[in-house]
Each structure stands twice: as structure tokens, then as C-alpha cells.
Amino acid sequence: MLWATLVYDPLAHWVWGNGGWMAKMGVLDFAGGLVVHISSGVSALVVALVVGKRLGYPRERGIPHNVTLVLLGAGILWFGWFGFNGGSAGAASGIAVLALVNSQLAAAAGGMAWLIVDLVRYGKASAVGFASGLVAGLATVTPASGFVGPLGAIAIGVAAGLACYGAVMLKSRFNYDDTLDAFGVHGVGGAVGTLLLGVFAAKAWNSNGADGLLAGNAALLGKQALAVLVTIAFSVAGTLVILKVVDAVVGLRVTADEEREGLDINLHGEEGYSIGSSTFGRADVFAAPQAQEAATKGSPVPAS
């Protein structure tokens, strides 16, 4: 709630609101490259650095426990993104159709680009890699989806697959624990897409937009670059302030024992997955307060 109010809302007003200074300057962001993806991706990196790594990371690395669910989730995202980008047109119009087509092409191009890098590096193409690439393509084309043509969207998707792949590799190099690659996919993808919008945009596709670098207007690329830098700086500063306040009031991290046992069982009294036998479960969590209350009143503990 704090982040949405103090970081997201001002950015949304600057870019999309009446009188927003970025809007007045001519910055373009069709569906949220600046407002949604850069802001959240950069803020996620700040949170990852401040909260710190999971216990045992990077020696103990979590891997996708169910590739079927990964692909199901990626498919739901792909489908939902048509509403996310196409709906930003505000009407069932030609611009909405353009955003839908561009979203599809960029997602496919991003997924294929990611697979090609995997093939070159490892000689194998993975389903999880394709899922990562398609999400990267969708995130990267988001700011440009209603302002560029289909060929531009394909180029943006390819750039997304390559740039976001490289950004995800930064985790091992700099040893930070961004569990879901929010920075590598969304933060970097949003920045790349916002900049490439300044290259491929053309009023021939959307008269409410602007011509970009390839159409002879280098000024748009400069405006997009300035907007990227401001969004990064504002997101970092705002997120740091919020984290410091939250840490002072309620704290940011559970104890090491709670982390080892699992947050589901400690915070909610149940487990998302019950695999094999366990000596510590829901009954134990809810029986402890009952036992304490019964001891205080001098009454027997009810059977679980």
C-alpha cells in the first residue's frame, strides 16, 4: 500500500495524468514500461539488496519445483497481457488491435531469442527458458505496444530476450538474490522497451504518438532516456525510505528458525505442500495456544 501510494501513483500521474510533467514533455508509455515495469523491477532489486539473501544462498538454490505449473502460469500471463496492453487503448479500436498484435509478436520473439541463447550456451532449449523469454518480450514491448509497427515489435522482442537473459545472469556475478528475476526481466525489460520506443515509434501507426529516431526524430529518444533515469532514481529513493520505515516499525525479515521451518507454517499455521512425513504441522501450531490457555485456566487440553 505504501509503495503503490508513494512510488507508483506519482509516476502514473507524471506519465499519464492531466498536467503530468512527463506527459507535457512528450514522453510516451502506452501501457506501463516506466510506470509499471521499471518502477517495480528496480524497487524489487532494492528490496532484495536490503532484505538480503535467503539462508544458504547461493550454495542452496531453489529450482522450479513444477515445470507444468510454470508453463501454466506463463500461459495465463501471456493471455492476460492482451488485456493489459490492448486494454490500454481505452476502446475496441485499431490501436487496441495493434497493441494485441505487437504483444503476440514480441512475446514469441522474446521466447525464441532466449531459447537460442540457451542453445548456444548449453546445447539445450528448456521450457522454463522459453517462458522466461516470452515474459521478457511482453514486459519490454509494453511501453511501445500501441506506438510501433509489427516489425518494430519483433525487434523489441528479440532485444528483450537477449538483454533480459544477460541481466538475469548478473545475479551470479554480483551475488544478489532476486528470486523471481523481477529486476532482470521487468526492470531491464521496461527500460529497454522504453528506449526502443524512442527508436521505432511512428505516427503512421498511432497519430496520438510521435515519430522516433528511425522516422527522423532523435528528440523523442532523448526524452525517453531522461524518463528512464528519473523513474529509476525516484523508485530507488522512494523504496529505500519505505523499507527503512517498515523495518523500524514491524521489521522486514523473519527469524532464521522461522525461515528454515517455513513461513507458511509459522505465519499461517499450514503448509502449501505436505510432502512426506512431518513432525511439525497445523495441529501443533494451533494446539500450542490452546494448551497455554488451558494451563492458565487450569482446564484440560482438548484433544486435537
Q: What is the pLDDT of residue 303?
A: 47
pLDDT tens column, 227-249:
999 999 999 999 999 999 999 99
Say how many CA atoms lie within 13 Å of 121 toward its Cβ.
13
Cα gap 127→291, rounded to integer Å: 49
What are the structural domains of the chain?
2-249 (1.10.3430.10), 256-297 (no CATH)
Q: What is the pLDDT of residue 304?
A: 42
pLDDT tens column, 179-226:
889 999 999 999 999 999 999 999 999 999 999 999 999 999 999 999
Helix %, strand %, coil % of the chain (to 5): 70, 0, 30
pLDDT tens column, 72-101:
999 999 999 999 999 999 999 999 999 999
